[in-house]
Amino acid sequence: MTRGGPRARRPRTAAEVAARLTWGVLPGPSVDAETAAALERGLGGVVLFAHNVESAAQVRALTAALRDRARGPFRIAIDQEGGHIVRLGAPLTRFPSAMAIGATGSARLARAVARAQAEELAALGIDVDLAPVLDLAADPRNPTVGARSFGSVPNLVARLGAAAVGGFLEAGVAPVPKHFPGHGRTPLDSHRSRPYVTGGPDVLWEQDLLPFRSAVEAEAPAVMVGHVAYEGLTMGGPASLSPAVMTTLLRGTLDFDGVVVTDALVMDAITDERSVAEACVEALAAGADAVMPLDPWRRALVAVEEAIAAGRLAEPALAASLRRLDTLERRLAASPALRPAGPLVPRADAHAALAGEVARRSLSRLGGGLALPIPPDTAVAVVEFGAGRPSPIESEDEPLASLGAVLGERLPRLVSVVIEPEEGDGGAAEARARELAAAAELLVVATRDTFLRPRAADLLGDLRRLGRPTVHVALRSPYDLVALPVAGPDGLAVAAYADVPATLGAVADALTGVPASGEDRFPGRIPMALPDRAEAPEEAALDPGR
């Protein structure tokens, strides 16, 4: 029951049904007049983004105001995945990415991190997390999956994904595994184009579907369908508009009776051929229960209302969608998110310790024989690449956490430079990087999906030719380590999977600290298949009980 419980009732008119099936967005950090009117009409949910966030206290006040105005079942959702995809930063805990968890192989940690994330979201009044990502990191060139995935091994992703679903549910927040039926076997980003996955249904079943099947068995209450086209299944169209995907495959083959949510329908994979409003109608006709038009959601409401009134959307299917949304409401009836109270960040110290454990156990050595620890009197140059926002899923205003700054606290002779994305850097930082590296005894290169930046290869080639012992730390996708190799045999190549504070601290500890007796500085296993790598990730070698 929403905070406006006495007003909650079954939608009767086409306008009310259209509202219930739609999740919108807010233009700012408070409830505007148009959204308030839609809430009164029965809007089914909103998705929060960084532009809706000023502080933790403000978010709690915002969610309370939304629920006060909501009529009937109402969801407040957010993309809080961990790693570099979050909408809520400090004071909430910044957990390492899903791939960092994958590198530990630990279902216990996957469940614990999901539960901790959910506890923090619920404390602010958010009851849906658009996570976990269950795509396989099968194509290392993919700009929108990468470290958001647990890895490329189907069994590993399935096991950790199911554990994460359980952790979210324990804390009373609905997880939404995504992007069904799998966005990983393509180098393209559906934000910018329509990816097409080959191999047919048999390959899809053998690889991509296993994690989603495990999530359904773990009682995930909702699933997000992506915008990828699949050979032999979607007839060239996106999965989010395909009855074969949503009705036949997800409902029929996987026997899923929870809420089917579309990915954001403003992506180029959709809008290249149709309006967002029309896509909403097509998605509902294909089997979706909730559509996410995002920014043009007001026009979408009108289009869905008109389609209902004209009979383009079948009454039995609409009734089934309303039933599923009601069922989700009942599952969340006891969620603390509906009545947030207490600390804005519950169990903050325990959650910080958990983030640190994941970070330490995830660090993975790909190669190199550099002796550690780095002596404190070493002249070190750190060349660090900024994020470059390779996919629109990333927040534009997330501040960069610097590995150079963290290492500088341990190494007094350290100097550093950050190379920002090409569009924001006139070349002065690259010249500075060459100057600092030439004068250094040891070079540390920190990359963030830098393989997506063509100009970076020239600079890294120049640095490699200097012949300095080099530590290369891939702070997001480990693909950087093979696509842009800069550490030779006398250096060190490390996959860290995230650039959150806990991970940067763990990297600094591994490079400069003295481990406890018997402790491995780099205990993680890279859970992603990499080109030219001698061995593939082995699911059997990862201990599920850790």
Catalytic residue numbers, as ranges: 263
Residues 100, 523: contact at Cβ < 8 Å?
no
Burial class (CB in 10 A: 0-12, 13-18, 19+), 9: exposed
For Cα atoms 89, 90, 96, give the angle at the middle one, nearest 5 degrees: 65
Burial class (CB in 10 A: 0-12, 13-18, 19+), 57: exposed
Q: Which positions ≥6 away from 196 have C-beta within 8 Å?
A: 186, 188, 228, 229, 230, 231, 236
d(CA 21, CA 44): 6
> In the numeric block, which tokens belong to residue 514?
């003295």
d(CA 524, CA 103): 5
Give Cα separations from 59 to 30, 56, 113, 239, 310 (angstroms): 9, 5, 21, 33, 39
Question: How many C-alpha atoms does 543 have within 13 Å on its Cβ side?
Answer: 5
Q: Which positions ≥6 away from 323 have C-beta within 8 Å?
A: none
In this structure, how many other beta carbons lie within 10 angstroms of the beta carbon of residue 390? 22
What is the identity of the amino acid at 205?
W
